[in-house]
Amino acid sequence: MDLQSLKNRFSIIGNTPTLNHALNTASQVAATDLTVLIVGESGVGKEVFSQIIHSLSARKHNPFIAVNCGAIPEGTIDSELFGHEKGSFTGAVDSRKGYFETVNGGTIFLDEIGELPLGTQARLLRVLETGEFIRVGSSKVQKSDVRVIAATNRELLEFTQKGRFREDLYYRLNTVPIRVPSLRDRKEDIPLLFRKFVVDFAEKYKTKPIFLDEEARQLLSQYPWPGNVRELKNIAEQISVLSKTDSINAATLASFLPTQHVNNMPMVTGNAPAGDFANEREILYKLFFDMKKDVNELKKMFVEILQNPSMTGNSNGQFNHETIISELKEDIGHTSHPIPASTHLSAPIHSQQPLIIDNEFHSSFEVDESLNIMDKEKELILKALKKHKGRRKDASTDLGISERTLYRKIKEYDIEE
What's the rounded Cα separation, in Å, for the pair 385 and 49? 42
Mean pLDDT computed over every residue of the chain: 81
Cα 120 to chain centroid, rounded: 32
Q: What is the pLDDT of residues 248-281, one digit of tens each?
A: 999 999 999 987 554 443 444 444 444 444 445 5
What's the rounded Cα separation, in Å, for the pair 387 and 381? 10
pLDDT for 392 equals 84
Higher pLDDT, 266 or 408: 408
Instruction: Specify whether the CB–CB gap between 106 and 58 falls below 8 A.
Output: no
- Which segment of 358-367, 384-393, 405-414 scores lowest on mean pLDDT? 358-367
**Strand residue runs (E) in 144-279:** 147-152, 176-179, 211-212, 247-248
Mean pLDDT of 298-309: 70
Domains of the chain: 3-181 (3.40.50.300), 185-258 (1.10.8.60), 283-364 (no CATH), 373-412 (1.10.10)
Q: What is the pLDDT of residues 59-98, one digit of tens each?
A: 999 999 999 999 998 889 999 999 999 888 888 888 999 9
Element (H, E) at 157: helix 156-161
Q: What is the pLDDT of residues 323-364, one digit of tens each?
A: 555 655 555 555 444 544 444 444 444 444 444 444 444 444
Reported pTM = 0.62
Q: How many Cβ atoms sit within 10 Å of the Cβ of residue 176?
A: 17
pLDDT for 311 equals 56
| DSSP state, residue 84 | B
pLDDT for 173 equals 95
pLDDT for 26 equals 96
**Quick one: pLDDT band at residue 321, thresholds 50, 70, 90?**
low
Instruction: Please check the confidence at residue 2 and state whether its pLDDT lies above 70.
Output: yes
Share of the chain above pLDDT 90, in %: 56
Mean pLDDT of 159-185: 95
Q: What is the pLDDT of residues 221-236, one digit of tens each?
A: 999 999 999 999 999 9
Higher pLDDT, 110 or 282: 110
Give me the residues paired with residue 380 across strands.
Answer: none
pLDDT for 184 equals 93
Instruction: Please check the confidence at residue 246 and state whether its pLDDT lies above 80.
Output: yes
What's the rounded Cα separation, in Å, for the pair 393 and 399? 10
Which residue, 13, 19, 3, is CA-closest to 236?
13
Instruction: Please check the confidence at residue 186 and state whether its pLDDT lies above 50.
Output: yes
Q: What is the pLDDT of residues 13-68, one digit of tens each?
A: 999 999 999 999 999 999 999 999 999 999 999 999 999 999 999 999 999 999 99
User: CA gyration radius for the chain?
Assistant: 29
**Quick one: pLDDT band at residue 210, thresholds 50, 70, 90?**
very high
Give 282-289 contacts, CB < 8 A, sequence gap 24+: 282/251, 282/254, 282/255, 285/219, 285/250, 285/251, 285/254, 286/250, 286/251, 288/371, 289/215, 289/250, 289/371
The contacts of residue 205 (CB under 8 Å, 6+ apart) are: 240, 241
What's the rounded Cα separation, in Å, for the pair 161 and 166? 9
What's the rounded Cα separation, in Å, for the pair 99 and 194? 37
